[in-house]
Amino acid sequence: DARVTQTPRHKVTEMGQEVTMRCQPILGHNTVFWYRQTMMQGLELLAYFRNRAPLDDSGMPKDRFSAEMPDATLATLKIQPSEPRDSAVYFCASGLGENTEAFFGQGTRLTVV
Amino acid sequence: AQKITQTQPGMFVQEKEAVTLDCTYDTSDPSYGLFWYKQPSSGEMIFLIYQGSYDQQNATEGRYSLNFQKARKSANLVISASQLGDSAMYFCAMREGGGADGLTFGKGTHLIIQP
């Protein structure tokens, strides 16, 4: 049963700490997205990759967020230093590009206190 | 300007009735795709249905169909014979640029099916 796997599922951290969220896309998918969901802003696209190359990260606060794909089976989203306003659910999704659907992971619920 | 507009923040519907969830979009790109996702209270995002801008026929997937009116720039989701398990948030999304870009989501509609 192919699925996008995100770890951790939940993370509570103190302000100022580094947070790393990981995503394993579906094998064979060449496009990976990071989204953030909050009540106020809804679902926002933070960054996405195609064939491991970053295509767009304009949705990310550059000073504290970074996204990478060290290999085809792992995408990471880091926040350093974290702030309370970063509290949200972070979703990773993968797909085959073009006009095909993106499959979402279960999300990482981040709480920064 | 918002690219995806969902005008119904919440809806209550009786079980077994048909439901139409509204979605309008804004793009000048001739090539785009429209998507609907369901997010139940458990939080996962579940893909429901896709419509391409060049598709001649409305998309259907089981009880889901997409009422695509290109001239009006609307892509409403129709759920036939609603079930209690259909209660969830529903998001309309668009991808522009022939697939080169990420999905842009609407704010969602919270659908509650009543017995």
pLDDT tens digit sequence for A66-82: 999 999 999 999 999 99
pLDDT band with cut points at 50, 70 and 90 for residue B1: low
Residue A56 pLDDT greater than 90, yes or no: no
Cβ-based contacts of A97 with chain B (< 8 Å): 99
Residue A65 pLDDT greater than 90, yes or no: yes
Residue A99 pLDDT greater than 70, yes or no: no
pLDDT value of residue A55: 87
Chain B nearest C-alpha distance from A43 (Å): 6
Residue A17 C-beta-side C-alpha neighbours within 13 Å? 13
Instruction: Supply the mean pLDDT for chain B.
Output: 93
DSSP state of A6: E
pLDDT band with cut points at 50, 70 and 90 for residue B97: confident
Q: Determine which of B20-24, B85-89, B102-106 has the lowest per-residue pLDDT on average.
A: B102-106
**Residue B68, helix vs strand vs coil:** strand
Q: What is the mean pLDDT of residues B24-39?
A: 94
pLDDT value of residue B100: 61
Cβ-based contacts of A35 with chain B (< 8 Å): 105
Q: What secondary structure does DSSP assign to A59-83, as a single string?
A: TS-TTTEEEEEEETTEEEEEESS--
Q: What is the mean pLDDT of residues A47-65?
A: 90
Chain A nearest C-alpha distance from B98 (Å): 6
CB–CB contact B45 A33 (8 Å): no
pLDDT value of residue B2: 73
pLDDT value of residue A57: 85
pLDDT value of residue A1: 65
Cβ-based contacts of B95 with chain A (< 8 Å): 99
Q: Tell me whether B35 touches chain A (CB under 8 Å).
A: yes
- Find the helix or strand (DSSP H, E) in which B94 lies: strand B88-96
Q: Determine which of A18-22, A58-62, B17-21, B38-42 has the lowest per-residue pLDDT on average.
A: A58-62
Chain A nearest C-alpha distance from B15 (Å): 27
Cβ-based contacts of A55 with chain B (< 8 Å): 100
Q: How far apart are CA B57 and CA B47, in angstroms?
A: 19
pLDDT value of residue B89: 97
Give residue B95's Cα distance to chain centre.
13
Answer whether A99's CB lies under 8 Å from A87's CB.
no
CB–CB contact B47 A102 (8 Å): yes
Length of chain B equals 115
- pLDDT above 90: percentage of residues in chain B: 88
pLDDT value of residue A98: 67
Strand partners, A26: none
Residue A96 pLDDT greater than 90, yes or no: no
pLDDT value of residue B98: 59
Answer whether B78's CB lies under 8 Å from B64's CB.
yes
pLDDT value of residue B45: 95
